[in-house]
Chains A and B, each alone.
Chain A
Amino acid sequence: MAVSKQRVGMAPAGAPLAAEAPTPLAPAGAPPAVGRKGRSEFVYFAFRNWKFVFGLCVVLGFLALAIFGPMFTAHKPLDFAGPTDARPSHAYWFGTTSYGQDVYSQFVYGLRSAFLVGAVGGGIAWLLGAGIGFTAGYRSGWLDDVLSMLTNVVLVIPTLAILIIVAAYLHVHSYATEAILVGLTSWPWAARAVRAQTFSLKTRDFVDIARLSGRKTRQIIVTEIAPNMSSYLLMMFILLFGGAILIGASLDFLGLGPATSVSLGLMMNNAYAASALLLGSWWWFLPPGIGIIGIVGAFYVMNVGLDEIFNPKLREL
């Protein structure tokens, strides 16, 4: 982007990256600044940082629930196993839907889809964002212009529009396809950030030396630039992971996700459509929201923790 070129060079020394792409919302969280620390130091600080530890524990807890929870369900999520609209009880831990489906079972299976959409969607967005960002930032020139343009276009095109077409076309629509679509559309902010970061790194001496020694662009990116941004890339993945879960939930809530299986967003959609809110069936609409906030929030808290680990300046006084 033209602006970024102008801006990066002039940004205050402390926060070149933060200045470039502070995306508190889209998808979430302010990208952290880069820091370079040794591995052992990382581990030392990591496990002394309560935010990181707390976030990690919550995420792992939900992950465990997603993996093992379905083993402890008496009913399949879509089975009409129980009485309709029953409160939480010993038999149905989270109660039942107004169709008599087990909310707990839907919840744990829904967590699975959330992690799937997060991992695959976030992963694809991460790959695209990093790839496009590195290339655009390192190569500059017309390639940069084209990639920046692409970034801009994807940024403004409503993801919904694309998903509607896909939903209409694909007769077999699964969470994997949804995740891929989320991934394909949620990378632009990451690409912008990586591009700016690369842009500032490539003028550093060690990159110049590598270039003078005749190494190929891809090699330089992989061996020189990327390692210097590893902490940044890790945090970017976490943010994209959480963001993908949120976007996927919105799509499912709108009824644009796959309807033959279970997700947290679809649970909200069903509960809303069945007027659970008005009819007081709180056990139906509370769990999916708590699940999403739990996972995504924990990721974000973990991210702050990481930020503090990599950037001593941010640590609590």
Chain B
Amino acid sequence: MRIRPWATATAAAAFTAGLVALFVLTAAGGAGASGVSYPRSQTLYMSGNQWSPNNDLNPAKTWDYVTGLVGFAYETPFRYDPLKDTFRPWLASAGKWVDKTTYVMTVRKGVKWSDGKPMTVKDFAYSFNILKLKTHPQHPFWADTGLKSMKVKGNTLVFKFGAKPGYQQFDFYRFNVAIVPQHVFKQYSKTDLTTGNLKLPIVGTGPYLYKSGYGATSPALYWQKNPKWWAIKALHVQVGPKYIVDLKNGTNAAALENFQAGNIDLFNNFAPKKAITGKAKTYYSKAPYHLAANTTWLFPNTTRKPLNDVKFRLALADSINVGQIIAKSYQGLVKKASPTGLLPIWNKWINKQVVSKYGFSYNVAKAKSILKKAGYKLGSDGYVRNKDGSTINLTLAVPNGWSDWMTATQVIAQSAKQVGIKITPSFPEYGTLTDDRGHGNFDMVLGNDRQYSNTPWTYYQYIYQLPILSNQTNVNYERFKDTKAWNLTKGLDKIASTNTKAYKAQMTKLETTFLKNLPVIPLWYNGMWAMFNTSHWTNWPSNSGNRHFTTASWRNYWQMTSIDMLTHLKPVK
């Protein structure tokens, strides 16, 4: 057989044509395509949920469900406005403590499920009853709040507590438990309800109806306005966009390109400051541009020398140039954290006298003198030695690829060096890091797992929870055994926020013990990254107007005030 040049060419062309055909067929079949394209002026495109596979429809899995599942489809009895610290009746039309241990929740009338069936108090009772399952992620609602019983009384649910209700946790669940339809959910087994991914269709009460996009390979989740949403009549509010396309983007860079091109309206990914220009707007018009969403902490392993010494930790805190991290790693997009580590939304609980007395800030001289007084002597290499004379070399680990944190660790290492503390940045794989962190095989790590909530209790629980297990998967990574602080934390839970005086007093105690012992070192507030493109939609949340809403499309934010962002949006004409 001879080789004919044209044969190669023809083969190439035929092969290519065949594969393109195959590709189109596969693509069309695979993504469950409907050739619908959405009118741009009625559609809100958003991104920032790109890491999730879009295949979990279980509202119990608050860390994994498809964004919007709670907020768009399912709703919660209440919503919580973190910026004003108020609860708003939502699927519950009212709720109050009738005495110190009895809470009565009134179910809103006239709400219908998207399949036409009315929502009743039975659905409420059902939704709270499934939390009784010990494997349910929200089981602490029953286990930790002191809740004894829940009874249906007419159109209300009566929650009866023991002597000391866990007010703070109960409040937390008031806006975090999704009310689900009993007539649909009764098909699921106990395992499904607590750990399964559940199935379509989604029968909810909320402002949007699921349209398409379910599945790990889908590029986006598509929602369509629910014309029969109860709030239209009951509260006279209406969501702006008729369609929502929640994009799953591969990378921040790809999302940013589309945002800049006006293809994305709400951008909840991280982007450098340079991107905030032109039609790109943010919550604040100047630094730090974004609301603070969570605190980044440095977790020292308090079971290891010298990090088990409070003096050393205090000196370490004083040695970290957080300003430099903010300027270099974030170009001013974040703010320095309060020495208490509490978010700005909890400012009113921060005792300023305590902070000024015990708080730390970047101060090389002070750090040096603390070390000297505590007996850490300088070695000939310029680094301090342990009290027994052995050398100190602390590794600070952050996951490889988390570039902002990676540069932050470099800054920390460089600034600690000025004090004589030797820190070596280390960038292990994420899996290795979580493993080491859980089992206490580390010197120092960074962490920012706790987000906005109604109560600083969630932060203190994150820091102090006891007992310490062999694997600490999501709290107390620093392995700090402080029974007194943990009891104070538990005590905080049992004080109603309305009891301002007692609450403040308890907070003062917690802040004092925290700052005196500094089991973890708060560094900066990570932003609620949000850029708004004003090409197609306007009236975005802003500090300057009266639209003070949370700006994230992330999970658990819609039932705060992110949904208000949607009800205020107006199309650009």
Q: Separation in Å of the B33 CB from the closest CB of chain A?
A: 29
Cβ-defined contact, A255 with B272, below 8 A: no
On chain B, the residues within 8 Å of A259 by CB distance are 400-401, 406, 427
Q: Enumerate 13 A-B pairs (CB-CB under 8 Å) in ascending A order.
A: A85-B274, A85-B331, A99-B407, A100-B327, A167-B429, A171-B428, A255-B401, A259-B400, A259-B401, A273-B252, A274-B403, A275-B275, A279-B274
Say yes or no for B35: interface residue by CB 8 A criterion: no
- Which residues between 126 and 182 of chain A lie within 8 Å of chain B, taking CB atoms? 167-168, 171
Residue in contact with A167 in the complex, picked from B252, B400, B425, B426, CB distance below 8 Å: B400
> Nearest residue in B to A272 (C-beta to C-beta)?
B253
Say yes or no for B135: interface residue by CB 8 A criterion: no
Cβ-defined contact, B253 with A260, below 8 A: no
Cβ-defined contact, A98 with B401, below 8 A: no
Q: For the complex, give the distance between the alpha carbons of A100 and B325 in Å.
A: 11
Q: Mark B395-411, 1 if CB is under 8 A from A, else 0.
A: 00000110100110011
On chain B, the residues within 8 Å of A273 by CB distance are 252-253, 401, 403
Cβ-defined contact, B256 with A275, below 8 A: yes
On chain A, the residues within 8 Å of B192 by CB distance are none
On chain A, the residues within 8 Å of B274 by CB distance are 85, 98, 279
Main secondary structure, interface of A, reads loop
Q: Separation in Å of the A101 CB from the closest CB of chain B?
A: 8
Cβ-defined contact, A80 with B410, below 8 A: yes
Q: For the complex, give the distance between the alpha carbons of A273 and B275 in Å.
A: 14
Q: How many residues of A sit at the interface, in one of the four size bands?
A: 20 to 34
B-side interface residues, number (CB < 8 Å)? 29
Q: For the complex, give the distance between the alpha carbons of A259 and B400 in Å.
A: 7
Cβ-defined contact, B410 with A84, below 8 A: no
Residue in contact with A278 in the complex, picked from B256, B406, B431, B432, CB distance below 8 Å: B256
Residues on A lying within 8 angstroms of B by beta carbon are: 78-80, 84-85, 98-100, 167-168, 171, 255, 259-260, 270, 272-275, 277-279
Besides A274-B272, A279-B272, 16 new A-B residue pairs in contact (Cβ under 8 A), listed by A number: A80-B414, A84-B328, A85-B331, A98-B274, A99-B328, A99-B407, A100-B327, A100-B328, A168-B428, A168-B431, A259-B400, A260-B426, A273-B253, A277-B253, A278-B256, A278-B275
Cβ-defined contact, B329 with A99, below 8 A: yes
Cβ-defined contact, A80 with B324, below 8 A: yes
Say yes or no for B85: interface residue by CB 8 A criterion: no
Q: For the complex, give the distance between the alpha carbons of A78 and B260 in Å.
A: 30
On chain A, the residues within 8 Å of B275 by CB distance are 275, 278-279
> Nearest residue in B to A169 (C-beta to C-beta)?
B432
Total cross-chain contacts (CB, 8 A): 63
Q: Mark B309-352, 1 if CB is under 8 A from A, else 0.
A: 00000000000000010011101000000000000000000000
Q: For the complex, give the distance between the alpha carbons of A277 and B410 in Å.
A: 24
7 tightest A-B contacts by CB? A259-B427, A80-B328, A168-B429, A279-B274, A99-B407, A100-B328, A275-B253
On chain B, the residues within 8 Å of A167 by CB distance are 400, 429
Cβ-defined contact, A80 with B411, below 8 A: yes
Q: Separation in Å of the A19 CB from the closest CB of chain B?
A: 15
On chain A, the residues within 8 Å of B426 by CB distance are 171, 260
Cβ-defined contact, B403 with A260, below 8 A: no
On chain B, the residues within 8 Å of A260 by CB distance are 425-427
Say yes or no for B257: interface residue by CB 8 A criterion: yes
Say yes or no for B271: interface residue by CB 8 A criterion: yes
Cβ-defined contact, A98 with B411, below 8 A: no
On chain B, the residues within 8 Å of A84 by CB distance are 327-328, 331
On chain B, the residues within 8 Å of A98 by CB distance are 272, 274, 331
Q: For the complex, give the distance between the alpha carbons of A100 and B414 in Å.
A: 14
Name the residue among B271, B400, B425 with the largest chain A CB count within 10 angstroms.
B400
- Which residues between 249 and 281 of chain B lie within 8 Å of chain A, taking CB atoms? 252-253, 256-257, 260, 271-272, 274-275
- Which residues between 399 and 444 of chain B lie within 8 Å of chain A, taking CB atoms? 400-401, 403, 406-407, 410-411, 414, 425-429, 431-432
On chain A, the residues within 8 Å of B327 by CB distance are 80, 84, 100
Q: Separation in Å of the A216 CB from the closest CB of chain B?
A: 44
Q: For the complex, give the distance between the alpha carbons of A272 and B428 in Å.
A: 21
Name the residue among A255, A274, A275 with the largest chain B CB count within 10 angstroms.
A275
With known contacts A80-B328, A100-B328, A255-B400, A275–B425 Cβ distance under 8 A: no
